[in-house]
């Protein structure tokens, strides 16, 4: 068993593409704000290493979140508490991940 935090990555995909192409509904905008606040809070705690999304607005768009967690179950919980995932507005898939290179 690995000691200390491990890294995990999850990918987010919108279930309604029009949220990106035509703009979010009021509910989607509210959840998007909660999502941003959630990730910002986790980044301040050094749980989220990196978060962002591709800038294309088609069916290949993807959001990416890299997290530090003690194990896969903890990382799964972080992902499932993400407001976009919790609300059902986005689907998410989690993978173990290792950062090979990082600029300091």
Q: Using the predicted structure, report yes or no on whether residue 74 has a pLDDT greater than 60.
A: yes
* Dist CA 19 CA 14 (whole Å): 8
* Dist CA 65 CA 18 (whole Å): 22
Q: Six-digit token pair at 95?
A: 């993978």
Give the 3-state secondary structure of residue 81: helix
In the chain, what percentage of residues exceed pLDDT 70? 97
Predicted TM-score (pTM) of the model is 0.91
The 10 Å Cβ neighbour count of residue 57 is: 14
pLDDT at 102 (0 to 100): 84
Which segment of 43-47, 75-79, 97-101 scores lowest on mean pLDDT?
97-101
pLDDT tens per residue, range 26-68:
999 999 999 999 999 999 999 999 999 999 999 999 999 999 9
Cβ-contact 90, 14 below 8 angstroms:
yes
């Amino acid at each position: 068993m690995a000691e200390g935090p491990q890294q995990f990555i999850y990918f987010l995909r919108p279930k309604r593409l029009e949220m990106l192409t035509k703009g979010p509904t009021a509910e989607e905008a509210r959840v998007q704000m909660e999502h941003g606040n959630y990730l910002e809070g986790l980044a301040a705690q050094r749980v989220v290493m990196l978060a962002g999304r591709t800038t294309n607005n088609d069916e290949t768009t993807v959001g990416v979140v890299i997290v530090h967690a003690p194990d896969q179950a903890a990382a799964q919980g972080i992902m499932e508490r993400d407001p976009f995932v919790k609300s059902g507005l986005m689907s998410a898939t989690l993978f173990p991940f290792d950062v090979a290179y990082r600029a300091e």
